[in-house]
Amino acid sequence: MKAVSKWFYLGAFFAALTLTSCDGHLDDTERKQAVKDDVQADGYYDDLISETDDIQTLILEDKSGNQNGSKDGSKTYTIVTNPDGSRDITVTFVNYTNLNFANSHVKNGIVNIHVTGTPDSTVFIRVITFTNFTIDGNQIWGTITVTKVSPTVTTIQIANGQINFTDGTTYTRQGTKTRTQIDGMLTPSIWDNVYQVTGSFTGTNRQGFNYSHEVITPLVRYMSYRYFVSGILELEVGNRDIVIDFGDGTLDNLVDITINGTTYPDVPLTH
Ligand SMILES: [Ca+2]
């Protein structure tokens, strides 16, 4: 019995040591950087999902046959309709900047979208993969499954997500978010839409630490704006909880970050 206790305490000791050393040499400046990196990675995936949302109006306009065409200059697409009715859409970006997004990212490469159903049908599923696709030179990997739950609710699942940044760092991501449309329903354009977002992701961040990302209060995103404007996100990096408050709805890139009881107001996000 005594031996068991000894090993138990020894195990507990090393477990505690491991937990403490997880982000032992991270200071709050580095933790704030971890927040910016998480928001940036989230923004990259949301940005490219917006591009594929943009394509859905094309699917509605042309429900049959094959179609080739171009839109907005350097974003071109090909739609192939399969015998089972599903569609394979190949979108090719060449130094493409979306004018609907102020100060938008530059995209290059190919986004493949396998589409089952149409936006107006009960079943509408898009499976998105990438071929040498980059945002601002940073390469995007993963399989994203976007599933319609109801006319206003969509789930977005990221599997094997990874961003290879130009500086050699990587960010990995897996998990699911739920997106609920709260405005812009009356127009076909997606660029006046407003969404509430919940969900959670895990992965390894650019500093090499494991993280978990969990929305505590729904985040609000205007499609035409780069940053969430309200909501609360909790980010756990190593053994430390970081709480990010996106604000009161004002369109800005400022967030309040609370780390271990200390709040840093109006921290500017990068993109
Ligand atoms: Ca709309």
Report pLDDT digits (tens) over 126-151: 999 999 999 999 999 999 999 999 99
184 CA to middle of ligand 1, Å?
4
- Distance from residue 100's CA to the centre of ligand 1 (Å): 13
**How many C-beta atoms surround the C-beta of residue 144 within 10 A?**
22
Choose from 2-11, 35-44, 71-80, 156-165 the range with maximum mean pLDDT.
Answer: 156-165
Residue numbers of the domain that contains 166: 27-268
DSSP 115-166: EEE-TTSS-EEEEEEEEEEEETTEEEEEEEEEEESSSSEEEEEEEEEEEE-T
CA of 191 relative to ligand 1 center, distance in Å: 6
Report how many domains make up the chain: 1
In a domain, 70, yes or no: yes
**159 assigned to some structural domain:** yes
Alpha carbon distance 178, 198 (integer Å): 5
Span from the CA of 188 to the centroid of ligand 1 (angstroms)? 5
Cα 230 to ligand 1 centre (Å): 20
pLDDT over 90 percentage in the chain: 59
Contacts (Cβ under 8 Å, ≥6 apart) of 6:
none
* Distance from the alpha carbon of residue 186 to the mean position of ligand 1, in angstroms: 6
The number of C-alpha atoms within 13 Å of 116 and in the hemisphere containing its C-beta is 9
* 2 part of a folded domain: no
Q: Residue 238: what pLDDT?
A: 78
Give the Å distance between the CA of 179 and the centre of ligand 1.
14
* d(CA 242, ligand 1 centre) in Å: 34
CA separation for the pair 13, 157 (Å, rounded):
37
Residue 80 has pLDDT above 80, yes or no: yes
Q: What is the pLDDT of residues 30-57, one digit of tens each?
A: 899 999 999 999 999 998 898 888 776 6
Structural domain contains residue 14: no
Q: How far does the centroid of ligand 1 lie from the alpha carbon of residue 137, in Å?
A: 30
Q: How far apart are CA 70 and CA 195, in angstroms?
A: 28
With cut-offs at 50, 70 and 90, classify the pLDDT of residue 189.
confident
In a domain? residue 9? no
Q: Is residue 50 part of a domain?
A: yes
Confidence of residue 226 (pLDDT cuts 50, 70, 90): confident
Q: Please tell me the distance between residue 228's alpha carbon and the centre of ligand 1 in angstroms.
A: 18
Indicate whether 190 belongs to any domain: yes
- Which residues have C-beta within 8 Å of that of residue 104, sequence separation ≥ 6? 47, 97, 98
Q: Is residue 54, in this structure, part of any structural domain at all?
A: yes
Predicted confidence (pLDDT) at residue 12 exceeds the cutoff of 60? no
CA of 183 to the centre of ligand 1 (A): 7
Per the CB < 8 A criterion, the answer to whether 192 and 165 are in contact is: no
Q: Which amino acid is at 32?
A: K
Contacts for 150 with CB less than 8 Å, ≥ 6 apart? none
| Cα 105 to middle of ligand 1, angstroms | 22
Q: Are 159 and 142 in contact (CB under 8 A)?
A: yes
CA of 172 to the centre of ligand 1 (A): 31
